[in-house]
Structures are given as C-alpha cells and as structure tokens.
Structure 1
Amino acid sequence: MPREETQTKTQAPPRTTEPRSVSEPPTTRAWTLRLVAVGLVLAALNLRPAITSLGALLEEVRDGLGMSGTVAGVLTSVPPLCFAIFGVMTPKLTRRFGPAAVVCAGMAAIATGLAVRPFAGSTPAFLAASALALMGIAVSNILMPVIVKRWFPDRVATMTGLYSMALSLGTSFAAAATVPLTSALGGKWQTGLGLWALVAALAVLPWLFVVRERRTTASAAPAAPAAEKAEARTGQEDQAAAAAEQREAAPALPIARSRTAWALAVYFGLQATGAYITMGWMPQIFRDAGVPASTAGVLLAVTMAMGVPLAFVIPRVAGRLRNQGPIAAVLGTCGLIGYAGLFLAPAAGAWVWALVLGVSNCSFPLALTMVGMRAGTGAGVAKLSAFAQSTGYLLSIPGPLLIGVLYQHSGGWGLPIALMAGLMVPQIAVGILAGRNRTVEAELAARGAAAAKTA
C-alpha cells in the first residue's frame, strides 16, 4: 500500500465521500470521478485571472474610468477582503446545496462578473462586477480541499497538487498573456479583461454535469431514514460510507476552539501576506535598484511561474510525511534568504532572489494540503477550510498597504524589506504547529473529554 494512502487513512475515516447508491453502476462512478477531476482543474485555472489580468491593465483601466490613485490602491486590497467576507458563507451554502452545486455557481459568478465589468462604464459598477467575480472565487477557494477530500479521499495530496499547479498556471498565464492578447485583439482594455470570462464559462460545464449526475443518483435511490440505509448496506465499504454520511450530518464543529485551526489560519494569512506583497511590490523594488522595467516584470513572472511545478510536487511530498512542519520551515527559510538578498544586493542577485522567493511562495499549496489532512471528515474539511482561509485572508489585508506606507515615509526599501523578512519568523513557527499529525476533530474531542473530567 502506498505511503500516501496509509497516511491519509491513519488520520481520517476510510471514506469521506458521499455514499453511493447500491443501484449506481461502477462505470457511472468512474465517469463522475473523471468529470470531477476535469472540473477541479478548470476551476483552479479560474481562481486568479480576475486579479492578475486586472493588474496587467490597471493603468489603462484607471484612465478609462477616471479612477483616482487612492481608489486604485484600495482596489488591490479588495480580493483578500472579498475572500474573507464571502468565505464565511461557504459552509452554510455547502450544507444547503452541496459542494458541486456551489462550485458550479461560483464559476458562473466569475464568468458573469468578468463579462460585465469591462463594460460597466463607471468605477462603482466596475467594483461591483469585480466583487461578483471575487465572490465566486472565494467560495470556490474554500471548496477545493472539500471536493478533493470527498471525491478523492485516498489521493488527497496528488489531487491537491494537481489543482494547485493549475491555479499557479492560471495566475502566471493571465499576468503574462493579458497585455499581448489585448494588443492582438485591437488594443482595447475592455476586450483584454473580458476574454477571461470565456475561460470561466468553460469551467461551468463539467460542474453542471456533476450536479445533474448527483441529483439523478439521489432521486433514483430509495427513500429511507439514514439508520435504515446504514442497516441495508452490505460490505465494509458501504458500512464506512453510512458512517461517513452520519458524521456529515453531525452538528458543526466549534472550530474556533481548535489550536490547530488557529495555527492554520495564521499560517494561511502570513503566506497570503507575503504573496500579495510580492505581486504588488517586488517589481518596484527591482526598478528602484536600477533593474529595467521590462526585466522587473519578467522577474515577477519567474517568481510566479515557480509555483507551477512546485505546486504539484510539494503536496505529494507533504502527503507522505506524518508532520509537514519541516516543509513549512524550509519554505520560510527560502523567504528569509530572498528578502536578505533584496536588502543586500537587489540588482546583482535579482534572478536568484526571484527564484528563491518563488519557492517561498509555494507555502500556499502546502497550506491547502494541510487543510485536507488536519480534518477527518468532509464536513470537518469544509469548516476548517472556511475558517482558515477567511480568517487568513482577513489577516493579510493590511500587509501590502503597510509596506506602501513604510516605503513612502522612509524613502527607501530598508524598513519594508525588514518587515517582510520579520513576518517569515512567525510564519515558520505557526507552520510547524499546523503541520503536527492530528485532526481538529480529535483535538476538540480530547479537549472536551479533559474539560468533562475537571468538571
């Protein structure tokens, strides 16, 4: 048995997928899994182009809408704010409609928002359409680990790596291709932004079929209470599925009482802070050091492109380890090295620092992998993912703004880079705590038992 499968089963019940109807043929289930895998990749490709395509054309958008510099600055902080606000709603929507239906609606919201905002005609309408797209991104962000845990319980690390790689690919491709595509299609920024709506619309299609398949299967199953269904199932696999179904319907976990959940949330927030600072300010650091503007843009693309291969490798390595803390320490150390290089010799070692910081930014797929491994049930993953990402993105909002304030008032990059490096220290610490081999369900149960004994 592969070590990855063994690790997953030691931390979680054998099954966290939705129970299969006894009348459902194996071929249908295999087809559904393939469809979910395709939908997962297409969804991940659409989780960042709404942000990075706008960054590439921000100057043109400002001129076209008469947007002030202050509003444009606030616009860069809107994504994490929307991720935090709308992410809180995700668990309730998931319980009501199911994860596949919510992801399908999320992709539709992204497609609609991206199609509408280039032609909004005013700054408020542009912001509203952007918020619609970001709402779809927020709920889909939360549910990626849930989808993996539910449909691929014995391949959590592999599938997490697959969609993390797709997410990184979509991020870097949108940043690099938006301007050339805009020029090729006539030079209008509206066209350059609007074309990404087509990619999002494509991602809706597999999820429509998945939702239809699940509803067809559910309607074909005999109506019976959960206890009668469990008694009717035969074989160890179906008994495990019945138990998983009952756990999914259990009361919500008091996730905010879990130390592991808080460690994950803070780790998520600190890595997101570093990522947004890098995307927003690293080119300016290089330009101020004498690097040509075109080269500075390429350096940022290199940093972002590092996530494409590593986003697939890191989750697979993490899934084979009982403790992911050492990986968090290595990635954080890379960040310290990169920021030290930017402080001491930003121009002389520019390519090295870009590569090293690209490795450090791969804390994101590691965080997603740990979310899937720190909960034992699909409901637990949904709750933990929503808490960690919503809280984390909320914590990340001040970072890029604070860097800008320090840069403006100090007149250089010494203090901002020192702050970036300083944030790596707590990131390493909470990454080690979050990587410990435990689940939030077991942790909360142990705390409850301890409290009962003392009472």
Structure 2
Amino acid sequence: MASEETRTLKSTTPPGSATARGSAITRDSVAAPEEGAAVPATRAWAVRLVVVGIVLSALNLRPAITSLGALLEEVRDGLGMSGSVAGLLTSVPPLCFAVFGVMAPRLARRFGAGAVVCAGMVAITAGLLIRPYTGSTAGFLAASALALMGIAVSNVLMPVIVKRWFPDRVGSMTGLYSMALALGTAAAAAVTVPVTEALGGSWQSGLTVWAGLAAAAVLPWIALARDRGAAPAERQAVQGVSGHVHARVDGAGPVRQVHARVEPPTLRITRSRTAWALAVFFGLQATAAYITMGWMAQIFRDAGVSAGTAGLLLAVTMVMGVPLAFVIPRVATRLPHQGPIVIALGACGLAGYAGLYLAPAAGAWAWAVLLGVSNCAFPLALTMVGMRARTGAGVAQLSAFAQSTGYLISIPGPLLVGVLYQHSGGWGLPIALMVGLMIPQMAVGVLAGRDRTVEDEAAR
C-alpha cells in the first residue's frame, strides 16, 4: 500500500471544463489524506517502537540530576568543590534546558525528531560516562552540560512526537511519558546511595551506573532515526507538509502528478498570550520542582529527621508523580478548561509549604505527599502544550518557547533559596518565597488552561 504522503485523490473536474484545460493548480486540487485510512502493516512496528522509545527516554530525563543530588556531598569532597560551585550545580540544569532546548525545533526540521532524540540519548550516555572520571570541577561541569544538552532537546521534542504519532491520545501518551519520567526521577533519588554502597562506596561508580539506562534508550531511536517517513497517525512533519496535486495541461494527456511542498506561515509565537502564560506557568512549576529536589531533604534534616529518612521522604515526593502523571493528563484532555486542576495542585503545594513551616518533622510524610502532588504541575504543563496548538509545527514552536523561556525563569529560584537560608539561618524566608511563587503560578496556569490555540492568537 502506498503511504499517505504519496496517495492522491482522483480529480472531480469534468474533462472538458475550463479548469481541466487550464494549467493553473487550484487549492482544491491539493491531495489530502483519506479519513479512516488504514495504517500500513509495515509501519505498525514503528508505532510500538515509538512507545518503547518514549518510555525509555522519559526514564532518562532526570537521573542525571537526582543521582547527583544524592551524592553531592561525596562529589564535593572528591573534587574539592566549593559551596558556591555546588550551589551553582542546582541551577545548571534549567540553564542548559533553556539554552539547548530552543535549538530542538530547528534540529528536528533538518534531521527529523527521531534522529534528534536519538542523538540526545547518546549525549546523555556519554555525559554520564565521562563526568565521574574527569578529575576536575570544570570537567565535571562540562560533562554534566553534555548530558543536560541531550535532556534539553528530548524534553522539547517529546510533546511533538506524542502529537505526531498519537494525536487522538495526547492525554494518555503524555501521562505514560510523565509517569516514566517521575519513576526515573524517584528511582535515582532512592537507589543511588544503596547502589553506591553495594559497589564499594565509590561515588564514581554510583553515578556511572545510570549511563547503562541511557544506553538502552538509544536502541529504539536508532531504528526510528533511519525511518524518515512521517508518523502514520499524522503525516504532517514538524514544519511543512508535502503532498501531490493534479494538473491537466493543454486539455490533453493523462492527469500528471505534481509534487508540491506546502509550507505553513511562520507562527509568531510571542504574539500569543496563551504561549506567554504557559511559559511562565512552566517556569514557576520548574522553580518549585528544583527547589524541592535541591533543598527539601535539607529542610527535614534541619528539623531533626535522619539523613536516611530525609532521602526516603524526597523519594516519596518524587514517586507521587508516577500514578498522578498518568491520571492528570487524561483528566485534563477531557476538560474544556484545565484551570481547576491548576488550582487543586497549587492548593496542595501551599498546604505542604505551610506544614514545612509549622511542623516539618511531626507531619513530614504528609508534607512530602502534598508536595509530590503539587509537583504534578509538570505533566499538566506538557499536556497543555499539546492541547494549545493544532499542528505539529505549532506544538514544536510552543514546546520550545514554553520550555526555554520557562527554564530561564526557573534559574534564580534554587540559588535564591540558598542565599536566603544562609543569611537568615532558618527556613522561614525560603518557605515564604516558595509560597510567594506558588500564587502567580496558579494565576498564569488558569490563563494557560483556557480553551484556545496559539495559532489563532498569533494570527489576530
């Protein structure tokens, strides 16, 4: 069976009509995919492989960060890293996500989204293999940046791949992806220290083991990178669609096919209020997430909780995203407005912060659960990226804009918490900052959840 990209429609123009005799190609003659067309059997394997690739990729998008957090003290001692440089490490991930994430759509247009994600997984593998053995702080930072570069481009392109391959299952597939991401995050936080101890106590070995998981994620994308065809669910590329048109020249001879590439107009994403609201929402939820990953265990330890229990509490916070990251996107896609979910998640965050301030040790498990629920604003943001644009090109631009701008917004947060903690000698001011950021997060999230598309807003 021919693919949808080469399928053409029969001309409905009578042979003797003026249109048939003319040489001009009209808009109505552009071929379109037939509704309900069957997916070629030869491409069924690709759909299953994409699901495997999405899950394996998502598992690798956070261990580079949370595994380091679990062994940060050992890394500092081993490399002679100062406290200020260690604090800088907490802001390197969002910085890399902002800088490298904006390159993803352009790379996808040139090489294909699958090839770029494949290269991203290779970069993660290489960075995780190299950084424990560089022997210097500069080398460690450079190798970390390499891994984070791979994470950045994959972050941006995952919603694009979901939109292209599963346009009628954006919620469920985003939920599956987000659930795997949360599982990888929690696993790295929970098992890195035990694995390190099992390997003889070497922090280098404890960090290197995560390169094996990243290497496994390369395999499905190798096959998908070689398959440059469009997705069976949506034959539209990241930018532009191609088709065939019919034209009859001089009223004689058979209908000939003329290949035409139809390029959509450039989307001026910065004209969309929804795009800006989604970018700010993404940035504020990322700020809360990185503050939680970087500092929550320390809050519990300062309250008298043991180091081992504090690590488990952080793992509980991270693992809350496993079931909820699958449920929330499915619910979100069934609602005309995602504002109520934004409010509910924000309320959980405010309750968790209040508990950390009033009784951090007494209700530690409850606060960990509440903050874990609040952190599920991340899969909600990814789901809204897929819902606020109509086309694959729009999703690519919106994903790059929202994530790059959002991660730039999130850079100062973890550093500012550290500064406030150091100068105040307690957690009152840092927690007040977290509360102050949650309120605008809820406000812009409500705006981003309105039922509209960035294409319409940019056109106006």
Please, which of 8, 33, 43 is the counterpart of residue 29 of structure 1? 43
Amino acid paired to 1:321: L
Q: Distance in 1 between matches of 2:325 and 2:246?
A: 42
Aligned equivalents of 1:214, 1:391: Cα separation in 2? 30
Letter in 1 for 2:360: P
1:260, 1:434 within 8 Å by CA — same for their partners in 2?
yes
In the alignment, is the contact (CA less than 8 A) between 2:156 and 2:399 conserved in 1? yes
Deviation at 1:216?
A: 11
- Structure 1 residue 122 displacement after superposition: 1.4
Distance in 2, Cα, partners of 1:61 & 1:282: 19
Match of 2:18 in 1: none
Q: SS state of the match for residue 62, structure 1?
A: helix
Q: Report matched runs for 1:34-433 at 5 Å.
A: 34-214=48-228, 229-231=244-246, 249-433=263-447
Distance in 2 between residues matched to 1:231 and 1:413, nearest whole Å? 70
Tell me if structure 2 keeps the 8 A contact 1:24–1:217: no
User: Helix, strand or coil for the counterpart of 1:214?
Assistant: coil
Query: Does the 8 Å contact 1:87/1:142 carry over to 2?
Result: yes
Cα deviations by residue, 1:177-229 (Å, 9 ceiling, x for unpaired)? 111112212221111111111111110110111122336999xxxxxx97762
- Bigger Cα displacement from structure 2, 294-303 vs 360-369: 294-303
- What letter is aligned with 2:312? V
Aligned structure 1 segments of 4 or more residues deviating by more than 3 angstroms = 215-218, 225-228
CA distance in 2 between counterparts of 1:372 and 1:216 reads 18
Q: Which runs of 5+ in 2 are unaligned?
A: 1-31, 233-239, 248-259
Shifted more, 63-72 versus 420-429: the winner is 63-72
- With normalisation by structure 2, the TM-score equals 0.85
**Deviation sequence 1:98-136 (CA, Å, 0-9, x none):** 111110110011011111111112111111111110000
* Counterpart residue type for residue 375 of structure 1: A
Alignment of 1:430-449 (within 5 A): 430-445=444-459, 447=460
Q: CA distance change for structure 1 residues 432 and 377 in 2, over 3 Å: closer, same or farther? A: same
Secondary structure of residue in 1 paired with 2:227: helix
Instruction: Single out whichever of 130-139 and 65-74 deviates more from structure 2.
Output: 65-74
Looking at structure 1, the residues matched to 194 and 354 of structure 2 have their Cα atoms a distance apart, in angstroms, of: 34
| AA matched with 1:430 | V
Secondary structure at the counterpart of residue 404 of structure 2 = helix
Alignment check: 8 A CA contact 2:321 2:376 kept:
yes
Q: Distance in 1 between matches of 2:453 and 2:278?
A: 12
Task: After superposition, give the CA deviation of every residue in 1:431-450 in whole Å (9 maximum; x if it has no partner).
Answer: 000000011001122x2xxx
Aligned twin of 1:237: none
Task: Give how far 1:293 is off.
Answer: 2.3
Q: Distance in 1 between matches of 2:367 and 2:246?
A: 60
1:253·1:380 contact (CA, 8 Å) conserved in 2?
A: yes
Alignment: residue pair count:
409
- Displacement of 1:26 in angstroms is 1.8
Alpha-carbon offset, residue 171 of structure 1: 0.5
Please name the residue that 2:251 is paired with: none
Report deviation, 1:246.
6.0
| Superposed displacement of residue 251, structure 1 | 3.6
Provide the rounded CA distance (Å) in 1 between the counterparts of 2:153 and 2:241: 28
For the 8 Å contact 2:189–2:314, the answer to whether it is kept is no
Q: Distance in 1 between matches of 2:393 and 2:377?
A: 24
CA distance in 1, matches of 2:245, 2:172: 30
CA distance in 1, matches of 2:424, 2:242: 66
Q: TM-score, normalised by structure 1?
A: 0.86
Distance 1:298 1:217 in 2: 41
2:271 and 2:457 in contact (8 A); partners too = no
CA–CA distance in 2 between the matches of 1:227 and 1:140? 25
> Deviation string for 1:251-287 (max 9, x for gaps)?
4311111100000000000000101111111112122
The whole-number CA distance in structure 1 between the counterparts of 2:315 and 2:306 is 14
Secondary structure of the 1:153 match is coil
1:27-84 CA distance string (max 9 Å, x none):
1222111001100000000000111111111122122222222211111110000000
- CA distance in structure 1 between the partners assigned to 2:70 and 2:98 by the alignment: 24
Q: For residue 229 of structure 1, what is the amino acid of its counterpart?
A: H
Q: Match for 1:365: what amino acid?
A: P
2:222 alignment partner AA: L
Tell me the secondary structure at the aligned position of residue 229 of structure 1: strand
C-alpha contact (below 8 Å) 1:325/1:436 kept by paired residues: yes
- Checking the alignment, whether the CA contact within 8 Å between 1:334 and 1:360 is kept in structure 2 is yes
